[in-house]
Structure 1
Amino acid sequence: MDSGLNHSSGYFEDAAMSLDNAQLSKNAEIVRKCRIQPSNRVLDIGCGWGAAARLAAAEYHGRVTGLTLSTEQHAYAVRTQEGVPEERRVDFRLQSWEDFAEPVDRIICVNAFETFKDKDSFLPHCRRLLPDGGVMVMLTVTADRPIFRVVPRERIVENGVRAGFDVDVSGSLASHYTRTLEHFVANLKRNRTRAVAIAGAAEYKKQVAHYTQCAGFLRRGLNDMYEFTFTAR
């Protein structure tokens, strides 16, 4: 991954852009579209290693909570907050979105929705957390037929409207995720010796095959990716 440990798609502004800069570009764009105001309560669902949450706190002065189910991600993210002033510190929690019931003003969800088992309950749950006019920005892979547990773009829009949101959808971002996955594969191959030492040869081969296959699905149009902006009615 990049130096910020974003296990999600970057936004590549040009052909020469590095993975690090593409991930910075993605996080900046998503956080900007949330229209965060100072002191807004911001929730990052599926925050991973914490890059987007830290940006929202540091640059937009939101009061940010990040949720992850990974003990490793949580421990790492908490360590990044050592020495950070309290007013800019992210509250990283080992908690599921289903168990989070506190009111917030903004929500971020970056390539995490794909992994949720109960996708149909997610948007109604988020609507209950937000005030009228609250904003959620979600980046997610979609598919018109069942594959990797992802769902069609139209189903996400319909569920959002039914939950009480106005929904805006970007154009296809599949090419950006394809390039990100290509970087993941190239980085793994370049660091093969270290990767095998950490995880073993079998796991190394499995991960290279997985990212390669995912990129192939996107190139062939079997999957797609979009950015959804939900504004609470």
Structure 2
Amino acid sequence: MAEIAGHILVVGASSGIGRAVAERFAEERSVTAVARRTDRLADLAAAGIATIAVDVTDLAAIGGVLQAAVADRGPLTGLVYCAGVQLIKPMRSLGVEEVERLYKTNLVAPTLFAAAFGNARISTRDAVFCAVSSVAAQRPEPAIVPYAASKAGLDALIRGLARELAPRRAVAVAPGWLDTEMTQAHARLYGDAFKAELEKRSPAGVATVTSVVDAIVFLMSPQARHVTGEILRVDGGATL
């Protein structure tokens, strides 16, 4: 059997970017997929990917998740945090539990994953922590203010990790709008007219999940070994 080139933990691997990242890295590395949807994890397990079922808002369980992954497949050479929650609501309509879950998922959980990731027993010295942010972090809009604020915090986390966890690297991608299950749940907002306007505003074309995954693979590769603390925008130029 060929030697496995590293061990990648993908958090939020049940759908969208997370699932695509797990499947891409599984082509050449050992992968552990983390998600709360056991039915989706079963599909990944059938493809030879190790799986751990957990809701990332169960913050006390995060340390155990990393320990279990390392015990099963060895120290991490990379961690990709793809879990995310989006709320599209006016501020006046937000409930306490909604806001709490959003910030736990988008900012508190990745902070705790990163804290454990920096431990020498968990990751190698050249390991890479990568998170999925959003262009909303720099361009907050009405009805997604808490989401944008959580992603802005995530960007600050990445920049700080790059300094504190060195020589490990910390990077992020900031996609624009993507056609995923998350956005498909708001089909009324993201209809044909929205997509046509987005296409007009995107000089390089509307970004896709595949293009975001390509960016993640590059940022975590040796070719990006001197890139750290950066948040790479992947939106086809729509926010220029």
Fold in common (TM above 0.5): no
> In which range does the TM-score fall when normalised by the shorter chain?
0.3 to 0.5
